[in-house]
Chain A
Amino acid sequence: MKVGLLVTCLVDMMRPSIGFAAIKLLESAGCEVVVPATQTCCGQPGYNSGDRASSKLLAAKLVAEFEACDFLVAPSGSCSGMVKTHYPELFADDAAMLARVTALAARTYELTDFLLNVAKIQAVPGRFEGTVTYHDSCSGLREMGVKAQPRELLAKVPGLKLAEMTEAESCCGFGGTFSIKFGEISARMSDNKCQNIEDTHADAVVLGDLGCMLNIEGRLRRRGNETTKVLHVAQVLAGDTD
């Protein structure tokens, strides 16, 4: 099965290793991975900022790039959620595009969901000595139904123990441009999240979206926490946590 990897613009720029970890996992599950070379951004920043026109342009571009693949998989609940739940809404009044978008949306998955429920991965390459806590990113959780999948996969990692934090499902305060427009409120929300993470005494907080990752890591360090690692679930599963 031919899987198109939506790298996501944040992984592309900020943490390329997550993209490679995703490829490693998908290949270990027996998938043929293609990475459409011209992919850039899914259009979510424009969509959430009310710039529908911009968002539609980028959505059309992405659909053309990925529709030849059997599946679209992203190491992000937010970007996969954009394609799966919001693209159809963007093209609601364009029958021809809507058909193409709906067809792609039906084949669009968040990485852990895909690995567990479609590729039915049995074992993962990673190892992790220590305790982790899992943060449920909002779009993954509420748009893509990602809750049990990362936990089931993490349970397959030798040496790893999971300690749940309180309010694991509460937003970390990122919210895209919200974190810039309402920096103070955003930072307070992040602070609450950091406190809940620290209260578990976990060695690392693991999550599935880069926006939340940068936000949580940025706030942890600003409040003087130099030790709690912030890892993408793909890194942990692939054994690429350095």
Chain B
Amino acid sequence: MQIATMYFKDRAQVKLNDELLQYNLKKSKGKFVGKRAEAIRELDDFEGTRTAAREIRQRVLDNLDTYLEIFEQNATARGATVLWAETPEEANRHVLDIAAKHQLKKAIKSKSMVSEESALDHAIEQAGLKVVETDLGEYILQINDYEPPSHIIAPALHKSKEEVSALFAKVHGTPPKTGIQELCGEARAVLREHYLTGDLGISGANFLIAETGSVMLVTNEGNATLCTTLPKVHVVITGIEKIVPTLEEASTLLRLLTRSATGQSITNYVDILTGIKGAGEYHGAEHMYFILVDSGRTRVLASEVREALRCIRCGACLNHCPVYQNIGGHSYGWVYPGPIGSVITPMFIGQEMAVDLPNASTLCGACGVVCPVRIPLPELLRKHREAQVKEDLRPWVERLGLKGWTWLALHPGLYGLATRIGVRLMKMMGGYEGRIHKLPLVGGWSDGRDLPAPTGKTFRELYAAKRRSA
């Protein structure tokens, strides 16, 4: 996907003033947060399950090479082919090679964020083939000139049903519909035709099961089932970190994934696809490929933010992030928005390309508290900030300010004097109202709010005076 992370501030500014977006964000947030809170109460021991999930995912990362080999062995034994892609370009090339080999003309795709990383749809179209997104959200974005997704699990969350209605009328040439049912019905009718004519099914993976060589897919629309069983070729494109050792362990993760994501006990459809269609079997692809993509993941694994690879892409950190909820996913400028995005994006596209992302957080901790696999997101954002300091990516004013403050705070006598002068000056600036409307150097604060002025004396001088008089 095209990278726009360097325009974070400008984009966020635009989104803050986009009233429709603000309305849509508020609406979806209420649903996600409320339903998750209810759903996790169904589990006897939610915190214990989180701990178990963390352990499963961490064990995979600690032994990733081993589990990948086990997966490859078992998938291959079931007739699938496992291909490896170090870069996004390589992943796309694999897909096009497969299409050429089997003379495929039309891809039908269920949701895959990894394919967003490599802009797979564009690569397919450039090669002269057709591609149709079948996840409703992704389909909406595709027919809107490939608008980027704004949320990991609800890619068109930023759109209202009125916008979708207008878009459908324009693209399908049908009279505008008003009800959600009608809109879904229309999309379903259009997509049905594509399911029947597609010869290449592409899916992502929620989990890859090492012991069976299977892919697990979690959807609510059933589109993944059709995409992966109707065409003669099924290609799974996913990141190398999506491995889970056993089906048993995948089921533990599944209990947390759907509850953390949409607040459902389980999604409408859970597909577990293992190998190619066997003799005498009705369903399934004749050829099955797994394209396992690195694209920066081994870089994450070797870094201080490696725990981010435990992520199971539920989106709970986005739904609970007060920054994401105010600016929406497009502000972040790449595939993965919100707290998890701000942790992994710099590793994928380069720290210097995404300087704002790890800083655009109050470190309020809400993301870390809801993460089903206990990724310490605030700590990892801080690790990036440390890397930025080390790599000289912070502005000199900030560095000087911090060094100056530290130096002063290490010299209590001077600190006492400087703060005495400082608070008196600020009191004067505050005037009779006792508040400062405009601050030099830190205008970011005073553009949006006053600074209540200090009362004119420091605690330490008042305390010393009191001790003297006592």
Contacts and interface: CB of A to CB of B under 8 A. Distances in A.
A61 B445 contact: no
Interface stretch (A43-51, A105-113, A148-156, A199-207): A43-51
Nearest to B379: A89
B459 A57 contact: no
Given A7-B459, A142-B365, A178-B361, A183 B385 contact: no
B454 interface: yes
B398 A177 contact: yes
A37 B460 contact: yes
Interface stretch (B145-153, B221-229, B311-319, B409-417): B409-417
A52 B304 CA distance: 14
Given A35-B463, A50-B385, A214-B452, A188 B366 contact: no
A109 to B, nearest CB: 19
A171 B366 contact: yes
A178 B359 contact: yes
Nearest to B9: A182
Interface string B348-380: 000000000001111111101100000000010
B299 interface: no
A176 B378 CA distance: 14
Give chain B's interface secondary structure class: helix
Contacts, number: 196
Tell me the dominant secondary structure on chain A's binding face: helix
A176 B326 CA distance: 18
A9 B412 CA distance: 12
Given A40-B415, A184-B448, A218-B435, A58 B458 contact: no
Nearest to A213: B452
B435 A183 contact: no
B403 A54 contact: yes
A160 interface: no
A9 B58 CA distance: 39
Given A48-B385, A218-B449, A185 B405 contact: no
A220 to B, nearest CB: 8
13 contacts: A7-B459, A12-B419, A48-B382, A48-B385, A51-B402, A52-B386, A52-B389, A61-B409, A138-B365, A183-B445, A185-B327, A186-B444, A190-B448
3 nearest A-B pairs in the assembled complex, by CB-CB distance: A187-B448, A175-B362, A183-B444
Interface of B: 9, 12-13, 16, 322-323, 326-327, 359-366, 368-369, 379, 382, 384-390, 394, 398-399, 402-403, 405-406, 408-410, 412, 415, 419, 422-423, 435, 442-445, 447-452, 454-455, 457-460, 462-464
Given A40-B415, A46-B402, 17 more contacts: A9-B409, A13-B458, A16-B455, A16-B458, A37-B460, A43-B406, A43-B409, A89-B379, A142-B364, A170-B366, A178-B359, A183-B448, A184-B16, A214-B452, A217-B450, A219-B448, A230-B452
